[in-house]
Chain A
Amino acid sequence: MENVINIQPVTRIEGHCRVAIHLDDAGNVADTKLHIQSLRGFEKFCEGRPAEEMPRIVCHICGICPWAHHLASSKAADAVFGVTPPPAAVKLRRLMQNIAYVSDKILHFYFLAAPDFVIGPDADYSVRNVIGIVNAAPEIAKQVVHMRHLGAKLLEGFSGRAIHPTFSLPGGVSKPMTETERQAMLPSAKELLEFSKFSLKFAKENVFPKYMDAIKNIGVIRVGYLGTVAEDGALDFYDGKLRLMQPDGAYEDFSAADYLDYIGERVEPWSYQKFPYAKRWGNGEGPSMDLANPSGVYRTNALARINVVDKMATPLAQAELEEFRGAFGRPAHYTLLYHYARLIEMLQCAEQTVELLEDPEITSRDVREKIAPRAARGVGCVEAPRGTLIHDYESDGEGLIKSLNLIVGTTHNNAAMNLSVKQAASELIKGGKYDQGILNKVEMAIRAYDP
């Protein structure tokens, strides 16, 4: 009889999934599957909603990255109504996005991923968590809890809500920033920047060198990458062109509005999450999850962005990118390097937060264009923490949503996560021998993607 190892739920990730590892008679891995078990149906139930309400409805897709959905939706709705938000509105949107992403990256690195590295991948499951870190390194834990919350307080203090915001609307944002608000936020922004610098230094000294073997082995696959770059090729979370890079580093740029020419999605009977793939690669028929020849598969999220960009947008992050590329090349394929890439991104977000708060234009009173309903289609795209986030809306003459299509960050990584699980399980489980530490390492291959 076939023996199946059932890891359920996959923990320290967002959402519901299980891993099934199928072993053959010899106890070696015959197949693996990452089953995504939940579906809510936003693409259906947003039909009929007023387009101007969308940014405050779809943010509920994700309580960890509501700002990404809030902004992608605002951009799609900008396009539906045919308006360009004033410069200060764009700066305020970018500011909120950067602050939210700093908190997001603190959450992932310290609360979700760090237990594997600080407590250790083989430690007993009952202590391998953030509470274990509180006990093992109370001073760092205190800082981490404080800094993650500081970002949330900044968002909330200015825009009312850190989780499920209402601040951004088609045409701009709901209120300008006053000089008093700007000055009050700046010292906290600088604190976040210092903490971002500390985090990268801490990880480069205490985490990555210690786990080089794991980095070179766990979940490693060779596939393509997708991310957003500004006109000058720098990493841009809010706007730019999409860059789709093949495993060998060759790439093609395109406008987000043309995504349907480049990206398709397949449904598999065994997962609620769809499987996006690069339409123009291989036979164009969908992703092949064959470890030996994974065609049509690309990845998103931090490592993908760090691979596709020509440079970072800020000086400290750029220096870190150069060091990273010196060590791992471009594109870097080791899956656990996602953690490293995430911390480089955190630095850019923190640097940009300070830059934006020091920009005199950010306090302009001109923050919203008036809108009027019309029938149109609009595509809005941002880089969510978990990857390229595409919102595609079609409205009727009353400005109600007629149809919508969404591709969210982690969905792009579905095929790649399945491949990484297969790779990790096949490497680690031989002759029916495995233990809790080994199964946790299979999960580490998933956690790297921060799904």
Chain B
Amino acid sequence: MPVKVVEDWLNACSGCEISILNIGDPLLDLLPNLEFVHMTALVDHKFYGQLGEKPVTEMEIPEATVGIVSGGVRNEEQKHELEQIRKHVKVLIALGSCATYGGIPAHANMWKNDEVFEKINRHCSSTTPAPDQQDLNVPPWIPTCTAVDEVVNVDIRIPGCPPHPDWIVEALTAVLNGQTSWSLPERSVCDTCPVIREQKSGGGAVKRCFENLEFNPEEGLDKMRCINEQGVLCLGPVTLAGCAGKSGVPRCIQARTPCRGCFGPIRKGARPMVDMMGSLTSVGLDPKTVVDRRAIMNRYIGGHGFLTPLPARPAR
């Protein structure tokens, strides 16, 4: 008997769903074990009856063993849907960093909602200024962009932007075998990164990505110097490992670009920004010189109160 699954995206980009498809050929072996009773991306189940006849107060989420939710929570309808999904599934999986930490869209938490709408509807250069959307069919924003576990209990978190298919398969397989928990091992990106480290840099200010890193393209990463030690900010030291799946090297480093922390903190309760500043200091760099420090170090984790509106800047 296949296991019933409800899947949906909330405040999301659909990258997590594409990552499910990036399981590739093994997906065809996995599919017969899963019955998607709701999946907006691929399946035609509707919330208010297949003929659209039911009242909009009664969102219909089918009973299922597993719920998979990507995206954080941004508006009242997403919140309602999430609460309904929680009620109708046994195991809830938060898929991806938006669901786990708020993700990139939680950058919006650096402003009040009014300020965001002021810009979107009245200060975009191609837009004729207009009042904000006010219609029952357009769900209002909730106060902040939150992670899924700020609204309901979550059983399994698969972080990553996107999460690697290896972990999606592993977590789903665990659930199919009756488990109700799963998590990635607590290791840092640096623990899985083959670059050369000497625990020191040229010192001084942290450099922005104005030119490419130093490396020989004919040689592997094991011949490249650590990015932080090259003087460029890399969030590897404070980021959970796993972006390259069960094998392989961290993806952004493979692209010869620095890590920006898409798998989130290494362990619950960590303060990546504080830890990262310490890490930069330890190789002789001045962490106060990191431009746009707060946003860059909390890029994927702006839920859970990590990003909040800035206090008004003092007049210069």
Chain A: residues with CB nearer than 8 A to chain B? Answer: 4-9, 11-12, 14-16, 18, 20-21, 33, 35, 37-50, 52-53, 56-57, 60-64, 66, 107, 111-112, 125-126, 128-131, 134, 141-142, 145-146, 148-149, 152-153, 156, 159-167, 169, 171-172, 174-176, 178, 259-260, 263-272, 274, 276, 286, 365, 367-368, 370-373, 392, 398-400, 403, 405, 407, 434-436, 439-440
Contact partner, B13, options A11, A61, A178, Cβ 8 Å: A61
Contact across chains for B133 and A272 when beta carbons are under 8 A apart: yes
**Interface membership of chain B positions 14-43, coded 1 if the CB is closer than 8 angstroms to chain A and 0 otherwise:** 111111011011011001000010001111
Contact across chains for B51 and A5 when beta carbons are under 8 A apart: yes
Contact across chains for B47 and A57 when beta carbons are under 8 A apart: no
Query: What are 29 inter-chain pairs, A to B, with CB distance below 8 A?
Result: A4-B52, A9-B47, A11-B43, A12-B42, A14-B41, A21-B52, A40-B74, A50-B291, A60-B13, A61-B13, A63-B13, A63-B15, A63-B17, A63-B18, A107-B18, A129-B43, A160-B251, A161-B251, A164-B161, A174-B256, A260-B126, A264-B128, A266-B127, A267-B127, A270-B138, A370-B210, A400-B291, A407-B126, A439-B50
Which B residues, 212 to 254, have Cβ-Cβ distances below 8 Å to chain A? 212-213, 215, 217-218, 251-254
Alpha-carbon distance A269/B121, docked complex (angstroms): 11
Contact across chains for A274 and B127 when beta carbons are under 8 A apart: yes
Measured CB to CB, the closest approach of chain A to B307, in angstroms, equals 9
Contact across chains for B209 and A53 when beta carbons are under 8 A apart: yes
Alpha-carbon distance A37/B40, docked complex (angstroms): 14
Alpha-carbon distance A353/B16, docked complex (angstroms): 26
Question: Given known contacts A33-B137, A128-B44, A270-B137, is B208 in contact with A265 (CB within 8 Å)?
Answer: no
Question: Interface range on chain B: under 10, 10 to 19, 20 to 34, or 35 or more?
Answer: 35 or more
Contact partner, A152, options B22, B53, B105, B209, Cβ 8 Å: B22
Residues of A with C-beta under 8 A to B123:
403
Contact across chains for B44 and A12 when beta carbons are under 8 A apart: yes
| Interface assignment of B311: CB less than 8 Å from any CB of chain A | no
Question: Given known contacts A41-B120, A56-B260, A175-B255, is B14 in contact with A111 (CB within 8 Å)?
Answer: no
Closest chain B residue, CB of each to CB of A162: B22
Contact across chains for B25 and A145 when beta carbons are under 8 A apart: yes
Contact partner, B14, options A64, A178, A260, Cβ 8 Å: A64
Contact across chains for B127 and A265 when beta carbons are under 8 A apart: yes
Alpha-carbon distance A60/B11, docked complex (angstroms): 11
| Interface assignment of B131: CB less than 8 Å from any CB of chain A | yes
Measured CB to CB, the closest approach of chain A to B280, in angstroms, equals 17
Residues of B with C-beta under 8 A to A167:
255, 257
Contact across chains for A175 and B25 when beta carbons are under 8 A apart: no
Residues of B with C-beta under 8 A to A43:
119-120, 124
Alpha-carbon distance A365/B218, docked complex (angstroms): 11
Residues of B with C-beta under 8 A to A50:
208, 291-292, 296
| Interface assignment of B135: CB less than 8 Å from any CB of chain A | yes
Contact across chains for A20 and B208 when beta carbons are under 8 A apart: no
Measured CB to CB, the closest approach of chain B to A10, in angstroms, equals 8
Contact across chains for B43 and A405 when beta carbons are under 8 A apart: no
Alpha-carbon distance A21/B51, docked complex (angstroms): 11
Contact partner, A160, options B212, B252, B291, Cβ 8 Å: B252
Residues of A with C-beta under 8 A to B134:
269
Contact across chains for B295 and A161 when beta carbons are under 8 A apart: no
**Interface membership of chain B positions 253-284, coded 1 if the CB is closer than 8 angstroms to chain A and 0 otherwise:** 11111001010000000000000000000000
| Interface assignment of B87: CB less than 8 Å from any CB of chain A | no
Across the A-B interface, give the 9 residue pairs with the lowest CB-CB distance, nearest first. Answer: A63-B15, A160-B255, A267-B130, A45-B107, A149-B24, A63-B13, A160-B254, A125-B44, A35-B137
Contact partner, B11, options A8, A40, A407, Cβ 8 Å: A40
Measured CB to CB, the closest approach of chain B to A380, in angstroms, equals 14
Residues of B with C-beta under 8 A to A21:
52
| Interface assignment of B168: CB less than 8 Å from any CB of chain A | no
Which B residues, 272 to 316, have Cβ-Cβ distances below 8 Å to chain A? 291-292, 295-296, 299
Alpha-carbon distance A4/B53, docked complex (angstroms): 8
Residues of B with C-beta under 8 A to A15:
9, 14
Alpha-carbon distance A5/B56, docked complex (angstroms): 11
Residues of A with C-beta under 8 A to B51:
5, 434-436, 439
| Interface assignment of B45: CB less than 8 Å from any CB of chain A | yes
Contact partner, A266, options B41, B128, B161, B218, Cβ 8 Å: B128
Residues of A with C-beta under 8 A to B255:
159-161, 165-167, 174-175
Closest chain A residue, CB of each to CB of B55: A6
Contact across chains for B119 and A264 when beta carbons are under 8 A apart: no
Contact across chains for A141 and B105 when beta carbons are under 8 A apart: no
